[in-house]
A and B are shown apart, each in its own frame.
Chain A
Amino acid sequence: MKAIEVKNLNVSFGNFKVLDNISFDVEEGNITAVIGPNGSGKSTLLKAIMGFIPYKGEILIYGKPNSEQRKLIGYVPQHFEIEKFLPMTVKEFLEFNLTEETLPKKSHLEHHLKELDILNYKDKLLRELSGGQLQRVLFCRALINDPKILLLDEPISEIDIAGQKEFYEIIRFLNKEHKLTILLVTHEITIVHHFATHVICLNKKLVCNGPITLLFKEEILKELYGREIFVYPFNKPLEKNES
Protein backbone atom coordinates (compact mmCIF):
# COMPACT_ATOMS: atom_id res chain seq x y z
CA MET A 1 0.00 0.00 0.00
CA LYS A 2 1.23 3.46 -0.87
CA ALA A 3 1.66 5.67 2.18
CA ILE A 4 2.84 8.73 0.23
CA GLU A 5 2.37 9.54 -3.45
CA VAL A 6 4.05 12.60 -4.90
CA LYS A 7 3.06 13.45 -8.47
CA ASN A 8 4.66 16.17 -10.62
CA LEU A 9 5.60 18.28 -7.60
CA ASN A 10 6.91 21.77 -8.36
CA VAL A 11 7.90 24.31 -5.74
CA SER A 12 9.16 27.81 -6.50
CA PHE A 13 10.10 30.73 -4.27
CA GLY A 14 9.52 33.71 -6.54
CA ASN A 15 11.38 32.97 -9.76
CA PHE A 16 13.63 30.44 -8.03
CA LYS A 17 12.67 26.83 -8.66
CA VAL A 18 13.37 24.63 -5.62
CA LEU A 19 11.73 21.38 -6.72
CA ASP A 20 11.29 20.55 -10.38
CA ASN A 21 8.67 18.00 -11.40
CA ILE A 22 9.28 15.42 -8.67
CA SER A 23 7.31 12.17 -8.67
CA PHE A 24 7.76 9.18 -6.37
CA ASP A 25 5.85 6.82 -4.07
CA VAL A 26 6.68 5.65 -0.57
CA GLU A 27 5.33 2.23 0.34
CA GLU A 28 3.86 1.65 3.78
CA GLY A 29 6.43 0.40 6.31
CA ASN A 30 9.49 1.67 4.46
CA ILE A 31 12.27 3.71 6.00
CA THR A 32 13.20 6.09 3.22
CA ALA A 33 16.19 8.38 3.38
CA VAL A 34 16.02 11.62 1.39
CA ILE A 35 19.54 12.68 0.49
CA GLY A 36 21.10 15.41 -1.58
CA PRO A 37 23.47 18.38 -1.35
CA ASN A 38 22.67 21.59 0.53
CA GLY A 39 19.89 23.54 -1.15
CA SER A 40 18.66 20.53 -3.09
CA GLY A 41 15.11 20.91 -1.77
CA LYS A 42 15.06 18.09 0.81
CA SER A 43 13.45 20.06 3.63
CA THR A 44 11.19 21.81 1.12
CA LEU A 45 9.95 18.39 0.03
CA LEU A 46 8.92 17.55 3.61
CA LYS A 47 7.24 20.93 4.02
CA ALA A 48 5.29 20.38 0.80
CA ILE A 49 4.19 16.91 1.94
CA MET A 50 2.89 18.42 5.19
CA GLY A 51 1.25 21.30 3.30
CA PHE A 52 3.24 24.04 5.03
CA ILE A 53 4.15 25.73 1.74
CA PRO A 54 2.34 26.34 -1.57
CA TYR A 55 3.20 23.98 -4.42
CA LYS A 56 2.01 22.72 -7.80
CA GLY A 57 1.31 19.05 -8.37
CA GLU A 58 -0.38 16.38 -6.29
CA ILE A 59 0.54 14.87 -2.93
CA LEU A 60 -1.52 11.99 -1.59
CA ILE A 61 -1.34 10.43 1.86
CA TYR A 62 -2.92 7.00 1.90
CA GLY A 63 -4.74 7.83 -1.33
CA LYS A 64 -6.23 11.14 -0.20
CA PRO A 65 -4.97 14.74 -0.60
CA ASN A 66 -2.42 15.66 2.07
CA SER A 67 -4.60 18.55 3.31
CA GLU A 68 -7.16 15.99 4.50
CA GLN A 69 -4.65 13.58 5.97
CA ARG A 70 -2.26 15.78 7.94
CA LYS A 71 -3.29 14.16 11.18
CA LEU A 72 -1.70 10.91 9.99
CA ILE A 73 1.70 12.62 9.98
CA GLY A 74 4.10 13.00 12.88
CA TYR A 75 6.96 15.44 12.40
CA VAL A 76 10.32 15.86 14.09
CA PRO A 77 11.88 19.16 12.99
CA GLN A 78 15.55 19.86 12.38
CA HIS A 79 15.60 22.56 15.00
CA PHE A 80 13.23 23.31 17.84
CA GLU A 81 13.69 26.59 19.61
CA ILE A 82 12.48 26.73 23.19
CA GLU A 83 11.70 30.12 24.65
CA LYS A 84 14.24 30.34 27.46
CA PHE A 85 11.91 32.36 29.68
CA LEU A 86 9.26 29.68 29.47
CA PRO A 87 9.06 27.27 32.38
CA MET A 88 7.28 24.39 30.67
CA THR A 89 7.71 20.80 31.77
CA VAL A 90 8.07 17.92 29.34
CA LYS A 91 4.69 16.55 30.43
CA GLU A 92 2.96 19.91 29.95
CA PHE A 93 4.56 20.33 26.53
CA LEU A 94 3.34 16.94 25.40
CA GLU A 95 -0.15 17.43 26.85
CA PHE A 96 -0.53 20.72 24.96
CA ASN A 97 -0.05 18.71 21.79
CA LEU A 98 -2.95 16.39 22.48
CA THR A 99 -5.94 17.44 20.38
CA GLU A 100 -9.61 17.02 21.30
CA GLU A 101 -9.61 13.76 19.34
CA THR A 102 -6.53 12.36 21.01
CA LEU A 103 -7.16 13.72 24.51
CA PRO A 104 -8.86 10.45 25.57
CA LYS A 105 -5.51 8.79 24.81
CA LYS A 106 -3.79 10.89 27.46
CA SER A 107 -3.01 7.68 29.31
CA HIS A 108 -0.90 6.59 26.31
CA LEU A 109 1.45 9.45 27.04
CA GLU A 110 3.04 7.68 29.98
CA HIS A 111 3.50 4.59 27.79
CA HIS A 112 5.27 6.59 25.06
CA LEU A 113 7.44 8.34 27.64
CA LYS A 114 8.43 4.94 28.99
CA GLU A 115 9.21 3.35 25.63
CA LEU A 116 11.33 6.35 24.62
CA ASP A 117 13.08 6.18 27.98
CA ILE A 118 12.16 9.70 29.07
CA LEU A 119 9.67 8.96 31.82
CA ASN A 120 12.19 10.28 34.36
CA TYR A 121 12.30 13.62 32.56
CA LYS A 122 8.58 14.25 32.49
CA ASP A 123 8.74 16.91 35.23
CA LYS A 124 11.94 18.46 33.92
CA LEU A 125 11.76 21.82 32.17
CA LEU A 126 12.21 21.77 28.40
CA ARG A 127 15.01 24.32 28.62
CA GLU A 128 16.97 22.01 30.92
CA LEU A 129 17.08 19.10 28.46
CA SER A 130 20.14 18.09 26.45
CA GLY A 131 19.93 17.90 22.66
CA GLY A 132 19.41 14.13 22.75
CA GLN A 133 16.75 14.31 25.46
CA LEU A 134 14.87 17.03 23.60
CA GLN A 135 15.05 14.88 20.48
CA ARG A 136 13.30 12.04 22.33
CA VAL A 137 10.65 14.44 23.60
CA LEU A 138 10.03 15.57 20.03
CA PHE A 139 9.73 11.93 18.97
CA CYS A 140 7.25 11.42 21.77
CA ARG A 141 5.27 14.46 20.61
CA ALA A 142 5.17 13.05 17.10
CA LEU A 143 3.86 9.74 18.46
CA ILE A 144 1.15 10.84 20.88
CA ASN A 145 -1.36 11.56 18.15
CA ASP A 146 -0.91 8.06 16.66
CA PRO A 147 0.54 8.94 13.26
CA LYS A 148 1.05 6.44 10.45
CA ILE A 149 3.87 8.39 8.84
CA LEU A 150 6.85 9.98 10.53
CA LEU A 151 8.74 12.77 8.78
CA LEU A 152 12.18 13.64 10.14
CA ASP A 153 14.15 16.66 8.99
CA GLU A 154 17.86 16.19 9.68
CA PRO A 155 17.02 15.11 13.19
CA ILE A 156 20.55 14.34 14.35
CA SER A 157 22.11 17.67 13.45
CA GLU A 158 22.05 18.84 17.08
CA ILE A 159 22.97 15.67 18.95
CA ASP A 160 26.31 14.08 19.77
CA ILE A 161 27.65 10.76 18.40
CA ALA A 162 26.34 8.68 21.32
CA GLY A 163 22.95 10.30 20.90
CA GLN A 164 23.02 9.56 17.18
CA LYS A 165 23.37 5.83 17.79
CA GLU A 166 20.38 5.93 20.15
CA PHE A 167 18.50 7.91 17.54
CA TYR A 168 18.91 5.20 14.91
CA GLU A 169 17.76 2.60 17.42
CA ILE A 170 14.62 4.65 18.05
CA ILE A 171 13.97 4.90 14.31
CA ARG A 172 14.19 1.12 13.94
CA PHE A 173 12.03 0.60 17.00
CA LEU A 174 9.29 2.96 15.78
CA ASN A 175 9.30 1.36 12.36
CA LYS A 176 9.06 -2.13 13.78
CA GLU A 177 6.83 -1.68 16.84
CA HIS A 178 4.60 1.17 15.69
CA LYS A 179 4.56 0.09 12.02
CA LEU A 180 5.46 3.64 11.06
CA THR A 181 6.42 4.63 7.54
CA ILE A 182 9.44 6.87 7.92
CA LEU A 183 10.74 9.56 5.58
CA LEU A 184 14.02 10.96 6.78
CA VAL A 185 16.00 13.89 5.40
CA THR A 186 19.66 13.39 6.15
CA HIS A 187 23.23 14.22 5.18
CA GLU A 188 24.58 11.13 6.91
CA ILE A 189 24.80 8.90 3.86
CA THR A 190 27.61 6.87 5.37
CA ILE A 191 25.36 5.85 8.27
CA VAL A 192 21.88 5.90 6.84
CA HIS A 193 22.38 2.78 4.71
CA HIS A 194 22.57 0.72 7.88
CA PHE A 195 18.93 1.19 8.72
CA ALA A 196 17.05 2.79 5.79
CA THR A 197 15.33 0.46 3.35
CA HIS A 198 14.96 2.97 0.51
CA VAL A 199 16.51 6.14 -0.75
CA ILE A 200 15.36 9.21 -2.65
CA CYS A 201 18.16 11.28 -4.18
CA LEU A 202 17.21 14.87 -4.74
CA ASN A 203 18.91 17.78 -6.37
CA LYS A 204 15.98 19.97 -7.30
CA LYS A 205 15.11 17.11 -9.66
CA LEU A 206 14.71 13.49 -8.72
CA VAL A 207 18.09 11.82 -9.32
CA CYS A 208 17.26 8.40 -7.93
CA ASN A 209 14.47 6.57 -6.17
CA GLY A 210 14.69 2.95 -5.09
CA PRO A 211 16.25 0.50 -2.62
CA ILE A 212 18.98 1.78 -0.33
CA THR A 213 21.61 -0.14 -2.32
CA LEU A 214 21.40 2.66 -4.90
CA LEU A 215 23.62 4.58 -2.49
CA PHE A 216 26.50 2.36 -3.44
CA LYS A 217 26.36 3.28 -7.09
CA GLU A 218 29.13 5.75 -7.66
CA GLU A 219 27.55 7.26 -10.77
CA ILE A 220 24.38 8.16 -8.86
CA LEU A 221 26.28 9.88 -6.05
CA LYS A 222 28.46 11.65 -8.59
CA GLU A 223 25.40 12.94 -10.42
CA LEU A 224 23.82 13.94 -7.13
CA TYR A 225 26.74 15.78 -5.54
CA GLY A 226 28.57 16.77 -8.70
CA ARG A 227 31.77 15.02 -7.62
CA GLU A 228 33.05 11.63 -6.54
CA ILE A 229 31.50 10.49 -3.28
CA PHE A 230 31.83 7.08 -1.70
CA VAL A 231 29.98 5.26 1.02
CA TYR A 232 32.15 3.31 3.42
CA PRO A 233 32.98 0.43 3.09
CA PHE A 234 31.76 0.01 -0.45
CA ASN A 235 34.03 2.58 -2.00
CA LYS A 236 36.67 2.38 -4.59
CA PRO A 237 39.03 5.05 -3.21
CA LEU A 238 39.34 3.09 0.05
CA GLU A 239 40.05 -0.10 -1.90
CA LYS A 240 42.77 1.78 -3.72
CA ASN A 241 44.24 2.90 -0.42
CA GLU A 242 44.14 -0.59 0.95
CA SER A 243 45.99 -1.93 -2.06
Chain B
Amino acid sequence: MNLEEYLFLLKPLILLIFLGVTYSLLGIFVLLKRLSFFSDGIAHASVFSLAIAYILGLELIPLGILGGIIFSSLIYFLERKTRIYSDALIGLIFVTFLSLGIIIVSFKKGYQPELLNFFIGNILTLSQFDFYLVISLSSLILLLTILFFKKFVLIFLDRNEAILRGFNVNLFEYLFYLILGIATILGIKIVGIVLITALLILPPMSSSLLSRSFKQIVIFSPLISIFNIFNGFLISFLFNFPLSSSLVVSNSFFFFLVFILKLLLKL
Protein backbone atom coordinates (compact mmCIF):
# COMPACT_ATOMS: atom_id res chain seq x y z
CA MET B 1 0.00 0.00 0.00
CA ASN B 2 1.41 3.35 -1.01
CA LEU B 3 0.45 5.89 1.63
CA GLU B 4 1.17 8.78 -0.71
CA GLU B 5 -1.83 7.75 -2.76
CA TYR B 6 -4.03 8.56 0.21
CA LEU B 7 -2.56 11.96 1.03
CA PHE B 8 -5.59 13.56 -0.61
CA LEU B 9 -7.55 12.34 2.41
CA LEU B 10 -5.43 14.41 4.76
CA LYS B 11 -7.07 17.71 3.91
CA PRO B 12 -10.64 16.53 4.52
CA LEU B 13 -9.44 14.90 7.72
CA ILE B 14 -7.86 18.13 9.00
CA LEU B 15 -10.93 20.05 7.92
CA LEU B 16 -13.26 17.61 9.64
CA ILE B 17 -11.29 17.84 12.88
CA PHE B 18 -11.64 21.62 12.81
CA LEU B 19 -15.35 21.32 12.04
CA GLY B 20 -15.85 18.47 14.50
CA VAL B 21 -14.41 20.41 17.44
CA THR B 22 -16.45 23.49 16.51
CA TYR B 23 -19.65 21.48 16.05
CA SER B 24 -19.19 19.52 19.25
CA LEU B 25 -19.08 22.73 21.29
CA LEU B 26 -21.89 24.43 19.38
CA GLY B 27 -23.88 21.22 19.78
CA ILE B 28 -23.97 21.65 23.56
CA PHE B 29 -25.93 24.87 23.02
CA VAL B 30 -28.01 23.27 20.28
CA LEU B 31 -29.16 20.66 22.81
CA LEU B 32 -29.50 23.21 25.62
CA LYS B 33 -31.74 25.49 23.55
CA ARG B 34 -33.33 22.62 21.58
CA LEU B 35 -32.15 23.96 18.25
CA SER B 36 -31.40 20.72 16.40
CA PHE B 37 -34.28 21.35 14.01
CA PHE B 38 -32.92 24.86 13.44
CA SER B 39 -29.64 23.61 11.99
CA ASP B 40 -31.49 20.93 10.03
CA GLY B 41 -33.82 23.60 8.63
CA ILE B 42 -30.94 25.94 7.71
CA ALA B 43 -29.10 23.10 5.98
CA HIS B 44 -32.14 22.12 3.90
CA ALA B 45 -33.13 25.72 3.09
CA SER B 46 -29.58 26.33 1.88
CA VAL B 47 -30.39 24.15 -1.16
CA PHE B 48 -31.91 27.36 -2.50
CA SER B 49 -28.67 29.37 -2.37
CA LEU B 50 -26.55 26.35 -3.37
CA ALA B 51 -28.80 25.83 -6.39
CA ILE B 52 -28.36 29.46 -7.47
CA ALA B 53 -24.58 29.11 -7.14
CA TYR B 54 -24.69 25.83 -9.05
CA ILE B 55 -26.77 27.21 -11.92
CA LEU B 56 -24.62 30.35 -12.20
CA GLY B 57 -21.38 28.39 -11.89
CA LEU B 58 -20.32 30.19 -8.69
CA GLU B 59 -18.55 28.81 -5.61
CA LEU B 60 -21.07 26.87 -3.55
CA ILE B 61 -19.94 27.54 0.03
CA PRO B 62 -19.82 31.38 -0.05
CA LEU B 63 -23.31 31.59 -1.50
CA GLY B 64 -24.45 28.85 0.89
CA ILE B 65 -23.12 30.94 3.79
CA LEU B 66 -25.01 33.96 2.50
CA GLY B 67 -28.13 31.79 2.47
CA GLY B 68 -27.34 30.57 6.01
CA ILE B 69 -27.09 34.19 7.23
CA ILE B 70 -30.36 35.17 5.52
CA PHE B 71 -32.31 32.11 6.73
CA SER B 72 -30.99 32.40 10.31
CA SER B 73 -31.97 36.08 10.35
CA LEU B 74 -35.37 35.28 8.87
CA ILE B 75 -36.10 32.63 11.52
CA TYR B 76 -34.85 34.93 14.29
CA PHE B 77 -37.02 37.80 13.01
CA LEU B 78 -40.15 35.67 12.52
CA GLU B 79 -39.78 34.11 15.99
CA ARG B 80 -40.03 37.58 17.49
CA LYS B 81 -42.68 39.02 15.22
CA THR B 82 -45.18 36.16 15.19
CA ARG B 83 -46.74 33.96 17.83
CA ILE B 84 -46.09 30.81 15.82
CA TYR B 85 -43.84 28.20 17.43
CA SER B 86 -40.22 28.22 16.39
CA ASP B 87 -40.26 24.68 14.94
CA ALA B 88 -43.22 25.54 12.71
CA LEU B 89 -41.42 28.66 11.45
CA ILE B 90 -38.27 26.65 10.78
CA GLY B 91 -40.44 24.09 8.96
CA LEU B 92 -41.87 26.88 6.82
CA ILE B 93 -38.42 28.21 5.83
CA PHE B 94 -37.12 24.64 5.40
CA VAL B 95 -39.74 23.42 2.89
CA THR B 96 -40.15 26.71 1.03
CA PHE B 97 -36.51 27.25 0.18
CA LEU B 98 -35.76 23.56 -0.33
CA SER B 99 -38.57 23.42 -2.89
CA LEU B 100 -37.40 26.62 -4.57
CA GLY B 101 -33.87 25.20 -4.72
CA ILE B 102 -35.08 22.01 -6.39
CA ILE B 103 -37.08 24.07 -8.92
CA ILE B 104 -33.97 26.15 -9.70
CA VAL B 105 -31.84 23.03 -10.24
CA SER B 106 -34.53 21.62 -12.55
CA PHE B 107 -33.82 24.48 -14.99
CA LYS B 108 -30.66 22.63 -15.91
CA LYS B 109 -31.47 19.85 -18.33
CA GLY B 110 -30.49 16.22 -17.82
CA TYR B 111 -29.35 14.19 -14.81
CA GLN B 112 -27.83 16.32 -12.05
CA PRO B 113 -25.39 14.25 -9.95
CA GLU B 114 -24.43 17.38 -7.98
CA LEU B 115 -27.86 17.26 -6.39
CA LEU B 116 -26.89 14.07 -4.58
CA ASN B 117 -23.65 15.74 -3.46
CA PHE B 118 -25.72 18.49 -1.85
CA PHE B 119 -27.58 15.93 0.20
CA ILE B 120 -24.98 13.40 1.30
CA GLY B 121 -21.72 15.28 0.65
CA ASN B 122 -18.65 14.30 -1.32
CA ILE B 123 -15.12 15.07 -0.19
CA LEU B 124 -13.90 14.92 -3.79
CA THR B 125 -15.80 18.14 -4.52
CA LEU B 126 -13.72 19.99 -1.95
CA SER B 127 -11.49 22.62 -3.60
CA GLN B 128 -8.41 24.36 -2.24
CA PHE B 129 -10.53 27.49 -1.84
CA ASP B 130 -13.16 25.53 0.14
CA PHE B 131 -10.46 24.11 2.37
CA TYR B 132 -9.04 27.46 3.42
CA LEU B 133 -12.45 29.10 3.67
CA VAL B 134 -13.86 26.37 5.92
CA ILE B 135 -10.73 26.22 8.09
CA SER B 136 -10.66 29.99 8.62
CA LEU B 137 -14.39 30.36 9.25
CA SER B 138 -14.65 27.38 11.57
CA SER B 139 -11.65 28.74 13.52
CA LEU B 140 -13.39 32.10 13.80
CA ILE B 141 -16.62 30.44 14.96
CA LEU B 142 -14.69 28.33 17.46
CA LEU B 143 -13.01 31.46 18.78
CA LEU B 144 -16.33 33.31 19.15
CA THR B 145 -17.91 30.29 20.84
CA ILE B 146 -15.09 30.08 23.37
CA LEU B 147 -15.06 33.86 23.88
CA PHE B 148 -18.80 34.08 24.58
CA PHE B 149 -19.18 30.61 26.07
CA LYS B 150 -20.24 31.75 29.54
CA LYS B 151 -22.68 34.30 28.14
CA PHE B 152 -24.27 31.71 25.83
CA VAL B 153 -24.62 29.24 28.72
CA LEU B 154 -26.32 31.78 30.97
CA ILE B 155 -28.63 33.06 28.22
CA PHE B 156 -29.69 29.57 27.16
CA LEU B 157 -30.04 28.35 30.75
CA ASP B 158 -32.26 31.21 31.85
CA ARG B 159 -32.97 34.10 29.50
CA ASN B 160 -34.60 36.23 32.21
CA GLU B 161 -31.69 35.88 34.60
CA ALA B 162 -29.33 36.94 31.81
CA ILE B 163 -31.41 40.09 31.24
CA LEU B 164 -31.18 40.90 34.94
CA ARG B 165 -27.42 40.43 34.84
CA GLY B 166 -27.32 43.15 32.19
CA PHE B 167 -26.51 41.06 29.10
CA ASN B 168 -27.75 42.15 25.70
CA VAL B 169 -29.70 38.94 25.33
CA ASN B 170 -31.20 39.71 21.90
CA LEU B 171 -27.78 40.49 20.45
CA PHE B 172 -26.19 37.30 21.74
CA GLU B 173 -29.13 35.14 20.69
CA TYR B 174 -28.92 36.59 17.18
CA LEU B 175 -25.16 36.12 17.15
CA PHE B 176 -25.60 32.46 18.07
CA TYR B 177 -28.21 31.95 15.34
CA LEU B 178 -25.79 33.45 12.80
CA ILE B 179 -22.87 31.37 14.05
CA LEU B 180 -24.95 28.21 13.93
CA GLY B 181 -26.38 29.05 10.50
CA ILE B 182 -22.90 29.63 9.04
CA ALA B 183 -21.36 26.63 10.80
CA THR B 184 -24.08 24.36 9.41
CA ILE B 185 -23.18 25.37 5.85
CA LEU B 186 -19.44 24.86 6.35
CA GLY B 187 -19.74 21.09 6.56
CA ILE B 188 -22.22 20.61 3.74
CA LYS B 189 -19.67 19.63 1.06
CA ILE B 190 -18.27 16.85 3.24
CA VAL B 191 -21.21 15.63 5.28
CA GLY B 192 -24.15 16.84 3.21
CA ILE B 193 -27.38 18.60 4.06
CA VAL B 194 -29.20 15.56 5.41
CA LEU B 195 -26.58 14.43 7.91
CA ILE B 196 -24.95 17.66 9.07
CA THR B 197 -27.07 17.96 12.24
CA ALA B 198 -25.78 14.57 13.41
CA LEU B 199 -22.27 15.97 13.83
CA LEU B 200 -23.68 18.80 15.93
CA ILE B 201 -25.80 16.82 18.33
CA LEU B 202 -24.32 13.32 18.60
CA PRO B 203 -20.96 14.14 20.28
CA PRO B 204 -22.55 16.22 23.09
CA MET B 205 -25.28 13.58 23.46
CA SER B 206 -22.69 10.85 24.02
CA SER B 207 -20.68 13.18 26.19
CA SER B 208 -23.70 13.89 28.41
CA LEU B 209 -23.96 10.16 29.15
CA LEU B 210 -20.36 10.04 30.32
CA SER B 211 -20.25 13.32 32.23
CA ARG B 212 -20.91 14.18 35.86
CA SER B 213 -20.44 17.92 35.40
CA PHE B 214 -20.74 20.60 32.74
CA LYS B 215 -16.96 20.90 32.65
CA GLN B 216 -16.75 17.24 31.65
CA ILE B 217 -19.31 17.57 28.87
CA VAL B 218 -17.27 20.46 27.43
CA ILE B 219 -14.07 18.38 27.54
CA PHE B 220 -15.54 15.04 26.39
CA SER B 221 -17.65 16.39 23.55
CA PRO B 222 -14.75 17.47 21.26
CA LEU B 223 -12.75 14.35 22.19
CA ILE B 224 -15.65 12.07 21.27
CA SER B 225 -16.13 14.03 18.05
CA ILE B 226 -12.45 13.64 17.05
CA PHE B 227 -12.48 9.94 17.97
CA ASN B 228 -15.51 9.34 15.77
CA ILE B 229 -14.04 11.36 12.89
CA PHE B 230 -11.03 9.01 12.83
CA ASN B 231 -13.32 6.05 13.28
CA GLY B 232 -15.66 7.20 10.49
CA PHE B 233 -12.72 7.79 8.18
CA LEU B 234 -11.40 4.31 8.89
CA ILE B 235 -14.78 2.67 8.28
CA SER B 236 -15.21 4.61 5.05
CA PHE B 237 -11.70 3.71 3.89
CA LEU B 238 -11.78 0.03 4.84
CA PHE B 239 -15.25 -0.80 3.57
CA ASN B 240 -15.52 1.82 0.84
CA PHE B 241 -18.61 3.32 2.46
CA PRO B 242 -19.64 6.96 1.91
CA LEU B 243 -17.71 9.14 4.36
CA SER B 244 -20.65 11.21 5.59
CA SER B 245 -22.71 8.13 6.50
CA SER B 246 -19.69 6.45 8.09
CA LEU B 247 -19.11 9.49 10.31
CA VAL B 248 -22.72 9.56 11.44
CA VAL B 249 -22.94 5.80 12.00
CA SER B 250 -19.73 5.88 14.02
CA ASN B 251 -21.16 8.66 16.23
CA SER B 252 -24.51 6.87 16.59
CA PHE B 253 -22.89 3.53 17.47
CA PHE B 254 -20.72 5.26 20.02
CA PHE B 255 -23.80 6.79 21.62
CA PHE B 256 -25.69 3.48 21.79
CA LEU B 257 -22.61 1.65 23.06
CA VAL B 258 -22.19 4.11 25.94
CA PHE B 259 -25.94 4.02 26.58
CA ILE B 260 -26.07 0.21 26.75
CA LEU B 261 -22.91 -0.01 28.85
CA LYS B 262 -24.37 2.49 31.29
CA LEU B 263 -27.53 0.42 31.52
CA LEU B 264 -25.64 -2.84 32.02
CA LEU B 265 -23.26 -1.39 34.59
CA LYS B 266 -26.13 0.54 36.21
CA LEU B 267 -24.13 3.76 36.21
Contacts and interface: CB of A to CB of B under 8 A. Distances in A.
Interface in A61-117: 70-71, 73-75, 77, 80, 83, 85-89, 92-93, 96-97, 99
A70 B166 contact: yes
Contacts, number: 60
A96 B32 CA distance: 14
Contacts of A83: 31-32
- Residue among A92, A97, A145 having the largest count of chain B Cβ atoms under 10 Å: A97
Contacts of B88: none
A97 B32 contact: no
Contact of B164 (A70, A86, A92): A70
Contacts of B217: 86-87
Given A71-B165, A99-B165, A99-B166, A85 B157 contact: no
A171 interface: no
Nearest to B167: A99
A87 B212 contact: yes
Contacts of B32: 83, 86
Interface residues of B, number: 22
B106 to A, nearest CB: 41
A16 interface: no
A97 B154 contact: yes
Contacts of A74: 164
Contacts of A71: 164-166
B163 A51 contact: yes
Given A70-B163, A70-B166, A75-B164, A87 B216 contact: yes
A52 B208 CA distance: 32
29 contacts: A51-B163, A70-B163, A70-B164, A70-B165, A70-B166, A71-B164, A71-B165, A71-B166, A73-B164, A75-B164, A77-B158, A77-B160, A80-B158, A86-B32, A86-B208, A87-B208, A87-B216, A87-B217, A89-B214, A92-B213, A92-B214, A93-B157, A96-B150, A96-B157, A97-B161, A97-B165, A99-B165, A125-B213, A141-B161
Interface of B: 31-32, 150, 153-154, 157-158, 160-161, 163-166, 205, 208, 211-217
Interface of A: 50-52, 70-71, 73-75, 77, 80, 83, 85-89, 92-93, 96-97, 99, 125, 141, 145
